[in-house]
């Protein structure tokens, strides 16, 4: 009998790249029956917290909130140096300092929003919107600042926006750790042996994509906000690295650092545990 696994994956290029083999059946599902939904990251966060998934790509901010119920898989995470969200402005306006100013964030459970709260607490009004709406809102001057993620990291200058701060660079300077953005978590209600099989399938899918990068492009294009192949592969180059293959001790230390800083400000609770098999 196959074991049904409710799997949530984000539409980000690094995830559709890593999961291309799983999504297309190009890798062996090892007897599991993956029931897959592809959603934007904040919807995934909300659905994870509602208990809708057995396995899910999620922001580490949301994972911290669900830490008692999930474990982090060693493969599939997005973390590194030079990968952080950007705080952008509609025009040269300094930093957000006034309650009358409006900052857009890509969802209250995203790690980007957590970083903004860590580094710019109570600095402005915050509105949470789908990440793809942030740059258009800044261009239209209906917001003062925006925390930009995903492909926008490569395209913001073409939209005539101003860089206020690279929140990832600030994290690196203060912690000397790679920035943990998001990862794959599994419900603790799954048997350990099932979680181990899921981990192997995800590792197989990632290995396949890294072996033949161009083969994943059609899957990536289907779900991307940007359709330029060069931009899509820039995204992969930035967010898929050795820590995506295996978090290892450095990744675990980065998760501990994020957990401690969030807990110190009362922004999230729990400590993330990496599945050890």
Over 90: is that where the pLDDT of 159 sits? no
Mean pLDDT for the stretch of residues 239-256: 95
- CB atoms under 10 Å from CB of 117, counted, come to 19
Q: What is the pLDDT of residue 42?
A: 87
Residue 63 neighbours by CB under 8 Å, 6+ apart? 48, 70, 72, 182, 183, 185, 272
Task: Name the residue with tokens 């029931």.
Answer: 35
Mean pLDDT for the stretch of residues 138-155: 84
Which segments of 60-199 are extended strands (E)? Answer: 70-72, 78-80, 86-89, 102-105, 125-128, 145-148, 162-166, 179-187
8 Å CB contact between 199 and 277? yes
Over 60: is that where the pLDDT of 167 sits? yes
All structural domains of the chain: 3-80+179-264 (3.40.190.10), 86-175 (3.40.190.10)
Among the residue ranges 10-19, 115-124, 157-166, 264-273, the one predicted with the least confidence is 264-273
CA of residue 32 relative to chain centroid, distance = 25
What confidence category does residue 200 fall into, taking pLDDT thresholds of 50, 70 and 90? very high
155 or 56: which leads in pLDDT: 56
104-141 pLDDT per residue, tens: 998 899 999 999 999 998 888 999 998 889 999 999 99
The model carries a pTM of 0.89
DSSP state of 265: T
Catalytic residue among 20, 150, 203, 235: 150
What confidence category does residue 196 fall into, taking pLDDT thresholds of 50, 70 and 90? very high
Per the annotation, the verdict on 20 as an active-site residue is: no
What confidence category does residue 225 fall into, taking pLDDT thresholds of 50, 70 and 90? low
Among the residue ranges 44-48, 200-204, 219-223, 256-260, the one predicted with the least confidence is 219-223
Over 60: is that where the pLDDT of 232 sits? yes
Over 80: is that where the pLDDT of 269 sits? no
Over 70: is that where the pLDDT of 188 sits? yes
- Torsion 244-233-18-226 (CA) sign: positive
Over 70: is that where the pLDDT of 239 sits? yes
Over 60: is that where the pLDDT of 1 sits? no
- CB atoms under 10 Å from CB of 231, counted, come to 17
């Amino acid at each position: 009998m196959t074991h049904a696994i409710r799997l949530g994956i984000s539409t980000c290029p690094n995830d559709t790249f890593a999961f291309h083999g799983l999504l297309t059946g190009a890798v062996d599902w090892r007897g599991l029956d993956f029931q897959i939904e592809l959603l934007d990251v904040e919807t995934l966060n909300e659905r994870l917290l509602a208990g809708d998934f057995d396995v899910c790509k999620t922001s580490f901010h949301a994972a911290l909130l669900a830490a008692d119920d999930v474990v982090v898989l060693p493969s599939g995470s997005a973390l590194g140096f030079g990968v952080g969200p950007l705080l952008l402005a509609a025009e040269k306006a300094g930093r957000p300092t006034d309650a009358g100013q409006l900052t857009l964030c890509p969802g209250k459970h995203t790690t980007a929003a957590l970083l903004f709260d860590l580094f710019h607490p109570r600095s402005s009004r915050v509105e949470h919107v789908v990440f793809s709406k942030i740059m258009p809102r800044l261009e239209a001057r209906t917001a003062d600042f925006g925390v930009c993620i995903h492909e926008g990291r490569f395209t913001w200058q073409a939209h005539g926006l101003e860089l206020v701060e690279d929140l990832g660079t600030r994290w690196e300077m203060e912690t000397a750790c790679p920035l943990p953005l998001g990862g794959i978590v599994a419900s603790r209600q799954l048997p350990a042996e099932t979680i181990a099989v899921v981990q192997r399938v995800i590792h197989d899918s990632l290995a396949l994509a890294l072996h033949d990068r161009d083969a994943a492009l059609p899957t990536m294009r289907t779900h991307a906000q940007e359709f330029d192949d060069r931009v899509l592969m820039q995204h992969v180059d930035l967010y898929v690295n050795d820590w995506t293959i295996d978090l290892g001790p450095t990744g675990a230390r980065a998760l501990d650092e994020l957990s401690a800083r969030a807990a110190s400000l009362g922004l999230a609770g729990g400590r993330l545990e990496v599945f050890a098999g």
